[in-house]
């Protein structure tokens, strides 16, 4: 089996172990990539949270004026049709908070299979466990019944393990989603940037720290706000670092909590 990570060095007559200075430069480049990517996540997510907070603050005086002095009775019919409590919020004059306005769900995910679907066959066996969050974006098309499609943003961070090595894996992926507006039933797909803190795992080389992540997922409700889903995730450099690199496919189960 060809050792992809060390094969290039052997062909060029270089030592198997890079010099200390080169290692420091690689670490510096990796740290800068992670810092830039994390800043990009904050810059993308921040405006949505700030806008929601500004709207909530601006509407606070109005809510204080119209708030009744006595408790508001909950209409059983509204509660049954709106189990998330949105009907109660409408009756009391309250609007959803910052997280409720933008954060749709959080989830934990773990790989259960590495069956290759896209690209070449992975030379190493990988595991990935991570946490993810999905944020609503202001673009969507839904019918009065609550079914349709829209855009979301999924951010994730976790550990990628293979060949005795562990790496930090982070991603920021825009999603095209079809299903219910409340996020209970969803079918999504998307592509976006990802960063790995290392790209060599034994005999497999991803090519570089920067990767493209392709994903598709399906989620269904299980109990109240808890849901269960399947997610396919593919890492690839799209020949950015050459044609002798290999990506990996992940089939993952996810448990999510919907806000």
Q: Does residue 79 form part of some domain? A: yes
Cα atoms in the 13 Å half-sphere on the side-chain side of 11: 7
d(CA 153, CA 82): 25
Q: Does residue 13 form part of some domain? A: yes
Total domains present in the chain: 1
| 86 vs 125: which has the higher pLDDT | 125
pLDDT at site 92? 46
Q: What's the average model confidence in pLDDT over 174-190?
A: 95
d(CA 132, CA 228): 13
Does 141 score more than 90 pLDDT?
Answer: yes
The range of the structural domain enclosing residue 133 comes to 7-258
Contact 230, 253 (CB under 8 A): yes
Q: Does residue 52 form part of some domain? A: yes
Q: Does residue 127 form part of some domain? A: yes
pLDDT at site 199? 93
pLDDT at site 97? 61
CA-closest candidate to residue 183, choices 98, 257, 81: 257
pLDDT at site 90? 46
d(CA 198, CA 204): 11
Phi, psi of 108 (to 5 degrees): -120, 140
Q: Does residue 2 form part of some domain? A: no
Report the sign of the C-alpha dihedral through residues 158, 26, 215, 146, in that order: positive
Q: Does residue 236 form part of some domain? A: yes
pLDDT at site 78? 38
202: left (phi over 0), alpha (psi -120 to 50) or beta: left
Q: Does residue 14 form part of some domain? A: yes
CATH code of the domain in which 117 resides = 2.40.160.20
39: left (phi over 0), alpha (psi -120 to 50) or beta: alpha
pLDDT at site 41? 53
Q: How confident is the model at residue 72 (pLDDT cuts 50, 70, 90)?
A: very low
Q: How confident is the model at residue 178 (pLDDT cuts 50, 70, 90)?
A: very high
Residues counted in the chain = 259
Q: Which two tokens stand for residue 234?
A: 């593919």
Q: Does residue 218 form part of some domain? A: yes
Work out the burial of residue 50: count CB atoms within 10 Å of its CB; fewer than 13 is exposed, 13-18 middle, 19 or more buried: exposed
| pLDDT, mean over the chain | 76
């Amino acid at each position: 089996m060809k050792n992809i990570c060390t094969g290039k060095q052997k062909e060029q007559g270089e030592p198997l172990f890079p010099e200390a200075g080169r290692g420091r430069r690689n670490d510096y480049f990796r740290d800068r990539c992670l810092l830039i990517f994390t800043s990009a996540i904050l810059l993308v997510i921040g405006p949505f949270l700030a806008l929601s907070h500004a709207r909530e603050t601006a509407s606070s005086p109005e809510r204080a004026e119209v708030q009744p002095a006595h408790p508001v009775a909950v209409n059983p019919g509204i509660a049954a049709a709106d189990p998330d409590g949105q009907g109660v919020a409408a009756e009391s004059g309250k609007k959803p908070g910052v997280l409720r306005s933008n954060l749709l769900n959080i989830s934990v995910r773990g790989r259960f299979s590495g069956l290759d679907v896209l690209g070449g066959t992975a030379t190493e066996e990988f595991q990935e466990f991570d946490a993810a969050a999905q944020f609503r974006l202001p673009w969507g098309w839904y019918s009065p019944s609550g079914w349709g499609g829209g855009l979301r943003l999924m951010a994730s961070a976790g550990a990628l393990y293979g060949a005795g090595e562990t790496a930090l894996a982070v991603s920021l992926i825009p999603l095209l989603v079809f299903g219910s507006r409340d996020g209970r039933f969803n079918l999504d797909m998307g592509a976006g940037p990802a960063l790995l803190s290392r790209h060599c795992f034994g005999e497999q080389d991803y090519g570089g720290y920067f990767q493209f992540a392709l994903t598709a997922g399906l989620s269904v409700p299980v109990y109240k706000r808890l849901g269960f889903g399947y997610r396919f995730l593919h890492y690839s450099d799209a020949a950015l670092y050459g044609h002798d690199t290999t990506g990996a496919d992940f089939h993952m189960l996810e448990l999510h909590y919907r806000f």
